[in-house]
Chains A and B, each alone.
With several copies, the nearest count.
Chain A
């Protein structure tokens, strides 16, 4: 099985050769992956080196927590990926829904509908765990459909507003 795995804009060609071997970018490596104590925590021995990681899928990505650092990986079947690329590049735009990363109280919404925003601009201030947290825009765009008001309590993953 051959995959193309993308982490932080870097592509890796990863081939699962058999139970105990993979090939990354043409280099053959011995691997041994086990789930520790039945948890989603994996112990990986790769050519003798020992690593431990928490791996779980989240939406279209795989989240990998390795040595304290969080990595997001997109794993695609090589054939599928080739077909998709042939069919045209993925649209980078589309609507972005800002969701509450945790339950909390909306302190303020310092933007208005129709307003242009820059990447990194604060869209919502949410209070949780006795802290005020700034939720920022992941890209340039226009604010669309604000669904919450200051003073309102929100649930985790509740959509707060959209950016198009």
Chain B
């Protein structure tokens, strides 16, 4: 039974895992890149070791170094978080070889679900509906794909076999444009994954992205914790997730839940995982893929079920049987998560870097913030732009939306631009309030509030003028007053700022 966990990740998820470990009495080991010496996960862990330079492939993707640090520090388990090494079969295998518990599924399950074509075939054989598309295992040539395309029907999607994050993905409307799009998709997939293989899927229009959270132990017990609706996306990146889905009813949840459990069983799954589905307008659902790891949006499920998913991952990795049966799982109220990204919603969501000068977290009833940053911390360009997750719970979906609005209004982050205004506009939109959205909603039918409230424009003018006036007045007075501000800590603080 392991006692010390190395968290092979950074940011909010590393902090999240440290919290769970601490609550179950496990020691924690953080790893960090040179850009992350002051990161929150380093501050909060019991131990912390440098991995290497800022770029991921020289730090958070270095399996060898991470395993070396595990050995050196005596860590007997590794939690991979999400991203980085979380879905690398060879990393899970290397942990096992060294006698370190990998808090996640078996390497074979990761492999089976990692290749999207194999995954499709495996679950299809287990009776799980998949989106109609190229049905056979094996990589097809362009001619073969062009031949099969009319049978699937247009519009369709070209997807990368090694896929993920929308890379190597192309929409095809006609057979004529298909050869060019195939070339582009293969090129992009090759660049992103070192694997140019692609397959075809029917494009399901007006669909929702709904996923089921799975828990599976080493004793053959598999349950689901209900669904999350993740249809609010931009460029195939999820922005908002909620549980329950506004379109769900008991009957559909039961059916999809059973299928999700079946899909997990098809790859002999152990630990927490997520089965992603598309649900079309007629409430037909299709398996999309399985994420063989903890999901960014796991907190919304935690809020409605009361179950701490990371603690359950640890229990499962320790070989304990699940402490819940399917019939124990109850859903209470509604939860919504907004991903707060350091990006400018007014400039085409351009990432924003810089030092967080000031911040104020929304708190109070029903509000949870999972973050890895704090005032004074520098947002660097090396990693994902997500700086926090704002999660709220309400007795009803309407109450959750109202609470999210309140929390977004309270949230202050100064020093980098964030997508908070995007979320504010979304929470005010009638379609979101009505639960009427699909995966294309943000890109096709949503515009961020650009119009200015004239009253606020006048306030902004007053503020800028007052600030400018103060600066003018003070410029003259500044030099001789400089000496006063020399109480010791301010002085040390200032020195630090100068020498960073």
Contact = CB atoms under 8 A, between A and B. Distances in A.
Contacts of B82: none
A49 B467 contact: no
Nearest to A41: B358
B409 A41 contact: no
Interface string A30-52: 01111111111111111011111
B399 interface: no
Interface string A59-76: 000101111111101010
Given A7-B460, A38-B496, A39-B357, A75 B38 contact: no
A109 interface: no
B47 interface: yes
A64 B460 contact: yes
A142 B310 CA distance: 55
B252 interface: no
Nearest to B422: A68
Contact of B353 (A16, A56, A102): A102
A133 B37 contact: no
Interface string B445-461: 00000001000111111
Given A40-B358, A129-B384, A5 B461 contact: yes
Interface in B338-368: 342-344, 346-348, 350-353, 355-358
Nearest to B83: A130
Interface in B359-408: 374-377, 380-385, 408
A38 B376 contact: yes
Given A40-B492, A44-B462, A48-B48, A1 B469 contact: yes
B458 A24 contact: yes
Interface string B27-70: 00010000001100011111111000000000000000000000
Contact of B456 (A52, A69, A75, A156): A69
B481 interface: no
A45 B462 CA distance: 11
Given A56-B488, A128-B351, A42 B385 contact: no
A67 B464 contact: no
Contacts of B30: 50
A32 B456 CA distance: 17
A96 interface: no
Contacts of B43: 36, 43, 50, 52
Contacts of B350: 101-102, 133
Contacts of B468: 3, 57, 62, 75
A37 B374 contact: yes
A62 B464 contact: yes
B283 interface: no
Contacts of A24: 458, 461-462
A48 B73 contact: yes
Contacts of A12: 458, 461-462, 465
Contacts of A34: 37-38
A41 B412 contact: yes
Interface string A103-124: 1100000000000000000000
Given A32-B37, A40-B358, A134-B348, A50 B46 contact: yes
Interface of B: 30, 37-38, 42-49, 72-73, 342-344, 346-348, 350-353, 355-358, 374-377, 380-385, 408-409, 412, 414, 417, 420-421, 424, 452, 456-472, 488-489, 492-494, 496-497, 500
Given A7-B461, A128-B381, 15 more contacts: A3-B469, A16-B465, A16-B469, A34-B38, A39-B357, A45-B48, A54-B357, A62-B464, A62-B468, A66-B459, A70-B346, A71-B464, A73-B461, A102-B350, A130-B385
Interface of A: 1, 3, 5, 7-8, 10, 12, 14, 16, 22, 24, 29, 31-46, 48-57, 62, 64-71, 73, 75, 101-104, 128-131, 133-134, 136, 156
The 8 nearest A-B residue pairs measured at CB: A37-B376, A73-B464, A75-B468, A62-B464, A71-B460, A129-B351, A35-B496, A12-B461
